[in-house]
A and B are shown apart, each in its own frame.
Chain A
Amino acid sequence: QQPVQSPQAVILREGEDAVINCSSSKALYSVHWYRQKHGEAPVFLMILLKGGEQMRHEKISASFNEKKQQSSLYLTASQLSYSGTYFCGTEGFSGAGSYQLTFGKGTKLSVIP
Chain B
Amino acid sequence: EADIYQTPRYLVIGTGKKITLECSQTMGHDKMYWYQQDPGMELHLIHYSYGVNSTEKGDLSSESTVSRIRTEHFPLTLESARPSHTSQYLCASSVGTHYGYTFGSGTRLTVV
A binds B: no
